[in-house]
Structure formats: structure tokens, C-alpha cells
Amino acid sequence: MPTPQPLSVHFEAADLGLDTDRIIDWSIDSDYLTSTDGFSFTLLDPDITDTHRLEMQPVELLLDGNQQLLGRIDVTECGANGDAVVCRGRDYLADLVECSLDPSLAIKEAMTLGDAVKQAACIVGINTILGAEDLKLRNVRTGRSTRGGKAPKDFRAIPLTDLKPDSSMGLFDWLNRLVSRHSATMQPATKRNELLLEEPNYDQEPIGKIRRSRDVARSASNNVIDGVAACDFSSFPTHTVFRSKSGGGSSGLAATESKLDIGDIVAAIGGDLEKVVKFSAVVGRRIPKPASSLPLVIGQIYRLLYQLDTDSKTQEQLERVARRALGERLKETLVYSCTLIGHKDLSTGAYWATNTVVDVQDDLARVHEPLWVASRQFSYAPPRTKLKCWRKGAFIV
């Protein structure tokens, strides 16, 4: 059994400004695709709880000095466990979630994506937009130096076109819609005034190994308490046709079209996904022609995904939307969920983290390939980690 890693809480506000590790229970829940990461800890420290209100306190949560979350306490509960106080909250991007989009926001068409995000987010104190810092963030979260593969894309300089702020939306929702149309996601950084624009990194080397072997001789290296692989092929399309609205927006562009065949997408991913899809999917598009139509070979399917996209104004934008629609369906073809002993890989010393790659060799779940970590949940007493993983490249932003 690995040694439990103590959580320390740093209260950042000037009226408190101290650290404590007198935590008797805690959890941290992180998901790459949710708006905020959540946390909970039970504090048993009369020097703090008897003299300070903890609601709305800004906190930094650390494991062995490695920052895991930067957030704020939203909720406290007292009285259920003696003098202990239960604190719950979210990371600092919750400030974007709870703030509406100001109708007076002025975004100019000549702005870049980074400038537009900063202009909108500065009202909650975020005035620095990062675009190539995913390696640095992983090193902070995992507590180890990781190799990132190819250089990450810097989304900040992308020029915007036809941008219309929608004051009926929340600030985070509008920004998320904006950056997702440019194949990016919004992620918390290591400072409260920073926000990271990035995409999933599938090229990095694994930070650790997940093992569950049937072989008794190798079972000593097992770190899986339970693991399940769900393979859902119920909804993937075999061919997509996405079209934009003719003459959309101030650019006055003509209608554009994007056609994607599933065989081309899965070929880039490879492995079992490519084998299953190529075995069962019809290649290309089948136009309805009853007189000459040939029956499908037994076992084959044809599924057309057609969509008229009213927001895309360029071919590039339309292709992003089409690829994301495919990614939403392809990621379900393998979802590996597991509970692990401890909070880090004992061979590398790296803490498990989202947007990392792990080498999975699980004989019982029949998974033997590197996977990308989509969500991670730490819990304490006993120390456990829950991960949800997808195939590398299956989810496309």
C-alpha cells in the first residue's frame, strides 16, 4: 500500500495568508471537458476555524508541494463532525461561470482569439492568455518533468471573423463556444490571472503505467482495484456532409461543404478502432438510387451524418465543426474507467492528471494500449484515484 499523500491548503487572502495540513478527508475532481474542477476537504484546525470565516476564501490545494487546484471555497458545513468544517468549492474559472456576458462588451472583428478572450475575461481578473503552456501545466500537476511530443499549437493569434457577442449567454459559455469553434479548449493555468487555450495532447509519452494482470507472477505490479472498458459503437457515422449557410455573415462568402469519411479518420488513430470500423463501415457516400442500388454485405452499415451549420463562414471553420461532431461519437467507442491504488504511479512518481497519456495493460478489461486521461478524481482515506480514459485521437476538439 503506497504512503498516503497529505493535502495541504494554502489560504491566499491577506486576512488569512497561511498554510495548513490538518485535513482529515479530501477529494479533488478534475475533468478536461467540464467548466470547472471541484474539490472538498474537511478541516480540523481550530486556529483557523475559530477565528476566520472560510466562505469565499481563495485557496490553493497542493500534494507534496505540487499545485493541484487553484480555487475558492463556495460552501461550508459545520456541526456534523465535532469542530471539523467541511469546505467545498471549484477552481477559479468558476468566476467566469457565474458571471453573465456584459451586453456592452465590444469585440472588434480585427481582434485575434487571444485578444477577444482577454477582453471578455478581464472583468474577473484574468488578463493573461496562454497558448503554448500545456507542458508546463502538466509538469506542475504531475510533479514530474514530462515529454510533450510535438510543440503545442498557439491559438492566441488566430484572427476572428463575424464575431457577435450574445448577451443572453453566460460569460464562460460564450467564451467556450468561441474557442471551441477554433479547435481549442479553455483550461485553468497556475495563476489566477491566467487562462490557457489548448487542445488535447496525444503525442506525449505516458506518465505512468496502469496494470492488472491475470499472471500471478506479474500481479505484484498490479495497481488496479477495479476497471471497466465500455465499447459503444452504436452511433458513429460512416460518412458526414456538413454545409454552411449560403452567403453567411459580413464576409459574404458562398456556401461551403465538408465531406469526411470515417475510414480516413480512424486510419489516423489505428489499433482496434480502425479494425472494427473498417470491417463494418461502407466506404464513401451512398446516393439513393433504388433502381441500381446494391444490398449491403452482411455485417456492413451505412450511416450518413448531415448537418447545416449556420455559424461557420469558412471552409476551415466548417471542417472543425464536422471533425468535432465525429469526435463526440468516436470517443465512446472505448471508455476505460478504473480505480487505482494511491494518487501517483509508483514507478515514475508522477501524479495522475488530465490531458496526459497512460499506458494501460488490463487483462480483465481487455485493454492493451496507451490511452488519454479525460478525467481524474482523487480521494483520501484510503487514498484512491479514479480515471476515465479514451483512445488517443478519438476525441477531436
User: Which of helix, strand or coil describes residue 164?
Assistant: coil
Q: Identify which of 235, 280, 269 has the alpha carbon closest to the alpha carbon of residue 395.
A: 269
Query: How many Cβ atoms are within 10 Å of 11's Cβ, its own excluded?
Result: 19
Domain layout of the chain by residue ranges: 7-91, 97-198, 208-231+334-391, 239-332
Place of cell 495493460: 361
Q: Is the pLDDT of residue 296 over 60?
A: yes
CATH architecture of the domain with range 97-198: 3-Layer(bab) Sandwich (3.55)
What is the C-alpha separation between 172 and 103, in angstroms, rounded? Answer: 14
Q: What is the pLDDT of residues 243-283, one digit of tens each?
A: 987 544 444 455 688 999 999 889 888 888 999 998 999 98
pLDDT confidence tier of residue 4, bands split at 50, 70 and 90? low
CATH fold match for the domains 7-91 and 208-231+334-391: yes
Query: How many Cβ atoms are within 10 Å of 236's Cβ, its own excluded?
Result: 24
Domain 208-231+334-391 has CATH 1.10.10.60: no
What value does the mean pLDDT of the chain take? 89
Q: What is the pLDDT of residues 19-31, one digit of tens each?
A: 999 999 999 999 9
Higher-confidence position of 320 and 37: 37
189, amino acid identity: A
CATH number attached to the domain at 7-91: 2.30.300.10
Q: Identify which of 93, 109, 114, 107 has the alpha carbon closest to the alpha carbon of residue 171.
A: 93
Query: Which pLDDT does position 254 carry in this prediction?
Result: 58
pTM over the 0.75 mark: yes
User: Which of helix, strand or coil describes residue 175?
Assistant: helix
The set of cell numbers assigned to 124 is 474577473
Residues 6+ apart with CB under 8 A from 148: 134, 135, 138, 201, 203, 204
Q: Is the pLDDT of residue 109 over 80?
A: no
Mean pLDDT of 111-136: 90
